Structure 1
Amino acid sequence: MLKDVDFKPFYTSGEDAEPSEFLFDGLINSQRFDLGLGFFRSTGFSTLAIGFASFLSSGGTMRFIINDSLAEKDKAALLKGAEEKSDEEYEQELIKDIENLTKTLTKRNQHFFDCLSWLVSSGRLELIAVVPRKNKVGIVHHKFGIFTDEQGNQAAFNGSLNFSQYALNYNVESIWCEYSWDAQGIAEKRIAEMIRLFENTWHGTSPAVRVIPLENVKVALQKKYPKKTLKELVETECVLATEVIKHPGTSPLAREKLRQMVAKMSKIGERLTSDTKAIEPEQQTPNKWVHQDNAISKFLEQERGVLNMATGTGKTRTSLRICKELIQRKQIDCIIISCDGTDLLNQWKVELLKLLRNENIPWIVLKNYSDFHDSETFRLNPVNRILLTSRLQLHKSLKSLPEKIAGRTLMIHDEVHKLGSAGNRTKLQGLSEGIRFRLGLSATPERDYDEEGTQFILDHIGPIIFEFPLEKAIAGGILAPFNYYPIPYELSADDKIRLKNVYSKKAARLKEGNPLSDEEFYNEIARVYKTAEGKVPAFKDFISRHSEMLDRTIVFVETKEYGEGILDIIHQYHADFHTYFGEDDPSVLNRFSNNEIDCLLTCHRISEGIDIKSLLNVILFSSSKAMLETIQRIGRCLRTDPNNPSKVANVIDFIRHSDNDEYLNSDAQREQFLESLSKIRP
């Protein structure tokens, strides 16, 4: 019962009594929850998953009053629930096990949104949306709620708290609370007023707001802020300013200033045509992107070569502009684009289709990777075709390319440093000699400790013809600056045993006459350090003081097994995380990109190419001796974010200084490199 809880009169973030504590205690000890909201986001269910699991398993019901802004997936799930009949078998399966229900509410996958639909269809959650009755502008911004238990006891709150993950986990919020059993009687009167406000709003009798159909609620951002022409933007500003002029609360002086502004803007609007496009970032700041123009000019002049451009500086955009230019010049009949990884190839597919559509280019995109098998179609007729292919399958298409077509082909190798592997050298030797235009893209084209592989890239594609490194990109404001956190650690006793075993193995193999190669030996040594248990307590200590660095974060680990141990620590501070290993669904990455997941733990799969602008933090449990991998990985969080123009990223690294092993010296080199980069500001 609610009376059994040691509730506080006031809860505030950062002190002993957090607002989420009140909500947990209220959910676990009540049967009904009435909530008047500002913004509703279903992430609130995930953040309070344990409390809601207990509440629902005990038969709890909810009524929420929300404003007219919903996330797209939330709206779809709520409307689906309103249209469906409740599935009693699903309900029994879901609520019979609190632990299972907690997991369902925690992980924001399809099961979570199915559960959200069930909450509505079963009547466990009722919602109405409201807007201001009198004003065309503004939103309903109530933030109060009442818990009621089966004995009729009530606990209520009023304050700044929204129902969302950010409000509950990260914002500084405060709430005042009232309890019906308070002997003073004042609380009972205040709760009665909250109930009156809630019921009047719920039943549509409030003079301040009116109820609207859930179907009419705006989808956050997408529909509320559509891309407009300059003329439309000017007209919208004039309308809004006119509304403020008419408002009785606007002072005479403010009215006069606004009238002058509207008059000026109206004259500007008259000079603009309806098809005048909104200014794109490149048009606003031409100098910022001039490196792309220089790279394009250099390639069109040379026709062969590698663009060495830092991650996030527009390698893909630059190459698409090269494609467009060569097509418009009628110098090519087909394009072949090759890289490793389904995620990156899918990203290319989206960008290519945009290019063809926006420029009215009547070419066709063919795909030969994953479940797509268009190589035979391409071989039969490569004219006016763009082939997207995995590097593993590239040799088949190059072998069958007619000499006449090869002379009018543009071949693009993305992440070209991978082209120099031993397997590629064998398969692709000599196959590109007839191709006229050959373009390589990479932030790190040279292969560390592999001169033969690097030479193959130069022979197969051409020399590095343009460079735009990280230092220039950060200084120019094209990439975000970052803070660097090198965490010192020591090997554990088990780590030292594993290290000793590698040296013993080396000695034994030498004695047998079958010595380990230098590469084998250093790989095994490196694996010990990459999976060192000594990093775990160092991480635990760091993240206990900086738990905010698990928000919009990728954690790079060496192995799935090692990662599972790190997940146990992350789970103590953050519920909204997911793994992204070889067996995980590729849609996980899309959900992370769309902010449905906040923290992602992975091995190697997203070190390259993928554009996630909102990413803030990278944690490097695993770092290679070669700087190539480090540059690729930190590049994931250095992309600028238009929704966060003052973004400063964070790179968390693990460094050991205490002995002279060659691999450990690479730790010190990496630290020196990243420390230097972290001092650069735009």
Structure 2
Amino acid sequence: MFEEIDLPLSINTSSEDPSAIFFDPVLKSAVTYDVGVGYFTSGWIADTAQGISQFARSRGKARWVVGHELQEKDLDSIVNSKAVADKEFQAKRIFEEEVAQVFSALKEDARLALAWLIRDGIVELKVAVPTNKLSGIYHAKNGIFTDEAGNDIAFSGSYNLTARASSNWETIDIYRSWTSEEGRQRCEKKKHEFESIWQGKDPNLLTFTPTSKTLDRIKAYATTGSRPYSLPSGRPAIPQAIQDDEGQIRGYQEKAIKAWFAQNGQGLFCMATGAGKTITALTAATRLLDYFRTQQAKLIIVITVPYVHLAEQWADEAAFFGYDAIKCYGGKDKWLGALQSAYNQLLSVDRDHLVAIAVNDTFKNSQFQSFLDGVRTNFLLVSDEVHNMGAENIAQKLPQKARFRIGLSATPIRHNDPFGTKAIFDYFGEPVIEFDIKDAIDAGFLCKYNYYPIVCELDPEELDEYIRLSKRIARLMAMGDKDDFSTSLKLELIKRAKLTGSSADKKRKLKQLLNDSQDRQHTLIYSSEAINDGERDIDRIVQIAGRDCQWRVAKFTAEESKEQRAEILGSFKAGDIDAIVAIKCLDEGVDIPQTKTAYIVASSTNPRQFIQRRGRVLRQYDGKGFAAIYDFIAIPPLDKLGEDEETFNIEKNMVERELERIVEFAEISENYGHTLSTLREIRKKLKLLGA
């Protein structure tokens, strides 16, 4: 409580540290924090990190009114607008255009902290611009704290909540509501002043809330790292920060949840990267829990994910909703006892829900399966990247006791595995929403992109091997059921994919593009898994990018430790390395929205893979603009097509498979017209235009 804090009447920066003496101890006990500042900076957020973290853990609520320095032309556009609505429109437009500049001025850790605070609904932000009689900037330097007992602390003075302020001679006057009548009146006056500004009632200040688009751009920074504070667990609820005034989340998410309930709590959420499938699933789960609470019933929620980094992201999101999830990975000694103890509490009167997050390897093991077999209450299974659940060694372990089921994936269909696909649909049910990449781009959740197909011709020996493999594949397919992909057939298909993915011309074209590139930072390069003459393709590409083209580059594979991968991603985000070369490790769940350019040197014919890779590059990030995708297409030499009909048809089928991907990528790109000319020339030579 505030009464226990020993505070001076005033502080000056000549002899005292305002954060240590005032801000940190007060924030640790505060439940609300209203502040008006002309500027806020990285220095101030870093200085008050300890207090802000405690404030966040306590689910404090802060309202910040921040000044915004405007150019003279910007002020004119606001002042000259006749109606208040027009003034506000101009102010929002200007702030939206400059939000990247405002946030780029903050250091990475401060940007991350502020983004999480806004995303979690702990900080509500408004911007103040002088109007009518005033010009210049909103230059307030005051704030009001309140504790659980209703005591107030107000402050005012020259200290401007910036790192520079602590190096200037600055002063803060402090007022306490419980010490004297004068203190109470001063606190009341500050509260009244702030409330007037917050409500937009000050006649000489235009106070506006940034648009949802601007706030989404700010919140996007929160995807670049973990929450820098913990949130308290308690009664789970849908966070106010993601709801509109009517208690709704995004329209398409609400539609999906409604359809899921209409299907008796079963269905697939087919949603593109960036569309918020995690939020949608947790909202559905929370509404289901709310229903069971009205029935005095209980609910177990089990969430499965393929990788630990995805599990950590889910734990962060679950905490946002107020869930204290049990993390089931890293060895049974770390989770089995906690899981069983929580379930025993559920069977008593101590708790009404339980959330467990398990990686797929844990989900399959005997201890976790034994726990699932023993569940005797309402049970919801949520499976992220649900296409993985169709694998034979896991599909048979899906719990039939889970009456409620959610499967999440941009593409739930398993490539060349009709039986696994059927298992997914039979268990989870039909899709309740199909929100693809085009929908996400149109809605502004993913950025627009330019697409450049890079045509690479197979060398003669590569083409001979491709034709040999294709003939063997055709024989194997003729021998078996068209829906049955035997082990032998799969192996030959893999060999052929590695051959096209590692062609020599792809490496030649990549080297040329990397040498010519004017913008090197935040680039992904996808390599094949092939090994040629004892050298792995990924190592050769790292050599091309690093030694030959002088890029700062790192390899990102299963061989690197968890700590090494985290270090690589951190360096990539900070711009300390230019490019990451990967095979598959970046395909699912790694959020690196800074990525601007992708060179897809190798890609399988699996639609899910290239959809995931495209989505990985299209994550929104402030200042990013358009993304660029360079897709390396392997084709036979067009001027030396096979003379016999069988060889020609093999070569034609090869190009047709590649063209399917080109069309998929190109049709929603910004430079579709440019790509069409490339497609037309290839089709003409392969007699695909009916010519």
Query: Does the pair score TM above 0.5?
Result: yes
Q: 1:341 aligns with which of 292, 307, 325?
A: 307
Separation in structure 2 between the aligned mates of residue 71 and residue 466 of structure 1, nearest angstrom: 44
* Residue type at the aligned position of 1:390: V
Specify the alignment match of 1:355 in structure 2: 321
Any residues of structure 2 matched to 1:606-621 within 5 Å, and which? 606-621=586-601
* Residue type at the aligned position of 2:559: E
Kindly indicate whether residue 282 of structure 2 is the aligned counterpart of residue 291 of structure 1: no
| Preserved CA contact (<8 Å) 1:288 1:477 | no
Separation in structure 1 between the aligned mates of residue 376 and residue 572 of structure 2, nearest angstrom: 40
| Preserved CA contact (<8 Å) 2:391 2:420 | yes
Separation in structure 1 between the aligned mates of residue 326 and residue 601 of structure 2, nearest angstrom: 39
Deviation at 1:547, TM superposition (A): 4.2
Q: 1:387 aligns with which of 356, 374, 388?
A: 356
Q: 2:128 aligns with which of 234, 242, 258?
A: 234
Deviation at 1:541, TM superposition (A): 2.0
Specify the alignment match of 1:322 in structure 2: 284
Deviation at 1:375, TM superposition (A): 3.3
| Preserved CA contact (<8 Å) 1:231 1:269 | no
Deviation at 1:400, TM superposition (A): 2.5
Taking a change above 3 Å as real, the CA distance of residues 680 and 294 of structure 1, as seen in their structure-2 partners, is farther
Give the secondary-structure state (helix, strand or coil) at the position aligned to 1:489: strand
Kindly indicate whether residue 545 of structure 2 is the aligned counterpart of residue 570 of structure 1: yes
Q: 2:578 aligns with which of 573, 592, 598?
A: 598
Taking a change above 3 Å as real, the CA distance of residues 680 and 609 of structure 1, as seen in their structure-2 partners, is farther
| Preserved CA contact (<8 Å) 1:422 1:453 | yes
Q: 1:536 aligns with which of 488, 501, 507?
A: 507
Deviation at 1:372, TM superposition (A): 7.2
| Preserved CA contact (<8 Å) 2:379 2:403 | yes
Any residues of structure 2 matched to 1:155-554 within 5 Å, and which? 219=107, 222=110, 226=114, 233-234=127-128, 241=137, 268-269=197-198, 280-281=215-216, 289-302=250-263, 303-329=265-291, 330=293, 332-356=298-322, 361=323, 363-369=324-330, 373-382=334-343, 383=346, 384-395=353-364, 396=366, 399-401=369-371, 405=375, 407-426=377-396, 428=397, 431-493=398-460, 495-496=462-463, 498-499=465-466, 502=469, 517-548=488-519, 550-554=520-524
Separation in structure 1 between the aligned mates of residue 325 and residue 600 of structure 2, nearest angstrom: 40
Separation in structure 1 between the aligned mates of residue 333 and residue 44 of structure 2, nearest angstrom: 33
| Preserved CA contact (<8 Å) 1:526 1:663 | no
Separation in structure 2 between the aligned mates of residue 230 and residue 516 of structure 1, nearest angstrom: 57
Q: 1:630 aligns with which of 590, 610, 615?
A: 610
Give the secondary-structure state (helix, strand or coil) at the position aligned to 2:664: helix
Q: 1:639 aligns with which of 602, 615, 619?
A: 619
Show CA shifts across 1:544-580 (max 9, x none).
33342x4212111122810121122222445432111
Specify the alignment match of 2:96 in structure 1: none
* Residue type at the aligned position of 2:657: S
Show CA shifts across 1:63-85 (max 9, x none).
xxxxx979999xxxxxxxxxxxx
Give the secondary-structure state (helix, strand or coil) at the position aligned to 1:389: strand
Deviation at 1:405, TM superposition (A): 3.7
Show CA shifts across 1:105-132 (max 9, x none).
xxxxxxxxxxxxxxxxxxxxxxxxxxxx
Deviation at 1:291, TM superposition (A): 0.9
Separation in structure 2 between the aligned mates of residue 224 and residue 432 of structure 1, nearest angstrom: 39
Taking a change above 3 Å as real, the CA distance of residues 481 and 594 of structure 1, as seen in their structure-2 partners, is same
User: Unaligned stretches of 5+ in structure 1?
Assistant: 1-67, 74-136, 139-216, 245-263
Kindly indicate whether residue 569 of structure 2 is the aligned counterpart of residue 586 of structure 1: no
Deviation at 1:436, TM superposition (A): 1.8
Separation in structure 1 between the aligned mates of residue 359 and residue 610 of structure 2, nearest angstrom: 24
* Residue type at the aligned position of 1:536: K
Specify the alignment match of 1:156 in structure 2: none
Specify the alignment match of 1:677 in structure 2: 668
Taking a change above 3 Å as real, the CA distance of residues 505 and 230 of structure 1, as seen in their structure-2 partners, is closer
Deviation at 1:598, TM superposition (A): 3.4
Show CA shifts across 1:268-307 (max 9, x none).
435589xx99865467899993111211222233201110
Deviation at 1:317, TM superposition (A): 1.5
Q: Which moved more, 1:225-234 or 1:647-656?
A: 225-234
* Residue type at the aligned position of 2:307: G
Identity %: 21
Separation in structure 1 between the aligned mates of residue 328 and residue 602 of structure 2, nearest angstrom: 33
Taking a change above 3 Å as real, the CA distance of residues 332 and 617 of structure 1, as seen in their structure-2 partners, is farther
Kindly indicate whether residue 639 of structure 2 is the aligned counterpart of residue 648 of structure 1: no
Taking a change above 3 Å as real, the CA distance of residues 402 and 627 of structure 1, as seen in their structure-2 partners, is closer
Separation in structure 1 between the aligned mates of residue 443 and residue 591 of structure 2, nearest angstrom: 19
* Residue type at the aligned position of 2:253: Q
Show CA shifts across 1:505-547 (max 9, x none).
889999xxxx983322222111111111221111122233334
Q: 2:659 aligns with which of 659, 668, 680?
A: 668
Separation in structure 2 between the aligned mates of residue 462 and residue 440 of structure 1, nearest angstrom: 9
* Residue type at the aligned position of 1:324: T
Taking a change above 3 Å as real, the CA distance of residues 400 and 634 of structure 1, as seen in their structure-2 partners, is same
* Residue type at the aligned position of 2:661: R
* Residue type at the aligned position of 1:672: V
User: Unaligned stretches of 5+ in structure 2?
Assistant: 1-40, 47-68, 71-104, 141-192, 203-207, 217-241, 347-352, 478-485, 531-535, 642-649, 673-691
Taking a change above 3 Å as real, the CA distance of residues 539 and 332 of structure 1, as seen in their structure-2 partners, is farther
Separation in structure 2 between the aligned mates of residue 371 and residue 305 of structure 1, nearest angstrom: 30
Taking a change above 3 Å as real, the CA distance of residues 223 and 635 of structure 1, as seen in their structure-2 partners, is closer
| Preserved CA contact (<8 Å) 2:267 2:405 | yes
Deviation at 1:592, TM superposition (A): 3.1
Separation in structure 2 between the aligned mates of residue 265 and residue 241 of structure 1, nearest angstrom: 16
| Preserved CA contact (<8 Å) 1:339 1:413 | yes
Separation in structure 1 between the aligned mates of residue 249 and residue 284 of structure 2, nearest angstrom: 19
Deviation at 1:597, TM superposition (A): 3.6
Give the secondary-structure state (helix, strand or coil) at the position aligned to 1:678: coil
Taking a change above 3 Å as real, the CA distance of residues 371 and 354 of structure 1, as seen in their structure-2 partners, is farther
Deviation at 1:500, TM superposition (A): 6.5
Q: Which moved more, 1:384-393 or 1:367-376?
A: 367-376
Any residues of structure 2 matched to 1:63-102 within 5 Å, and which? none
Separation in structure 2 between the aligned mates of residue 577 and residue 673 of structure 1, nearest angstrom: 29
| Preserved CA contact (<8 Å) 2:456 2:634 | yes
| Preserved CA contact (<8 Å) 2:127 2:209 | no
Separation in structure 2 between the aligned mates of residue 492 and residue 482 of structure 1, nearest angstrom: 31
Specify the alignment match of 2:177 in structure 1: none
